[in-house]
Structure formats: structure tokens, C-alpha cells
Amino acid sequence: MARNRNFAASQRGADRAAIMLTIITTCRLNDVDPKTWLADALACIADLPASRLHELPPEGWKLLRQADKPSDQQAA
């Protein structure tokens, strides 16, 4: 942990870097483009009711986007 803090210049910076790397890795593990996911998540989060927050993580987001595609595009 100390090495991460030195790399990030502070503990707070190391914590932020760890969060971002976790998000990016989660996107990649779910075959989701991190930039596309983040842009869409930030665009819709303000209007999303609390009951639908489960749709925001990359794995839930991907399933919803696949369901939104017409069936002829899902095979591609």
C-alpha cells in the first residue's frame, strides 16, 4: 500500500487510482468498453431512480444494452 501511495503522491490519490482501475478492469472482464460505459453511466445517473441503480455496473449495463439491440445486431 505504501508503494501505491508513493506512486499516486498521496493516500487519497492512491485510493482514487484503485477505484478507477477496478472500474476499468470490471469493464474489460465483462467485455464492455470503459469509455462508452462511463459516458453512458454519467449521462443517465441523474435521472435514474434508486430502484434501477443495479443497471449501472458494467455487467448490468451490458445486459440491458444487449436487450435494447434488435435481434439481427446481437449476432454480430
Q: What is the pLDDT of residues 37-62, one digit of tens each?
A: 999 999 988 898 999 988 899 988 98
pLDDT at 12 over 90: no
User: What is the pLDDT confidence band of residue 64, given thresholds at 50, 70 and 90?
Assistant: confident
Q: What is the pLDDT of residues 29-38, one digit of tens each?
A: 999 999 999 9
Check: CB of residue 43 under 8 Å from CB of residue 49: no
Rounded alpha-carbon distances, angstroms, from residue 27 to 8, 24, 55, 63: 22, 5, 14, 13
The span from the CA of 55 to the CA of 25, in Å, is 18
- Mean pLDDT over 22-34 rounds to 94
Q: Which three cell numbers stand for residue 27?
A: 469493464
Considering the entire predicted model, what is its pTM? 0.69
- Whether residue 75 lies inside any domain: the answer is no
- Whether residue 76 lies inside any domain: the answer is no
Handedness of CA 60, 61, 65, 68 (dihedral sign): positive
Structural domains in the chain (count): 1
Domain, as residue range, for 55: 2-69
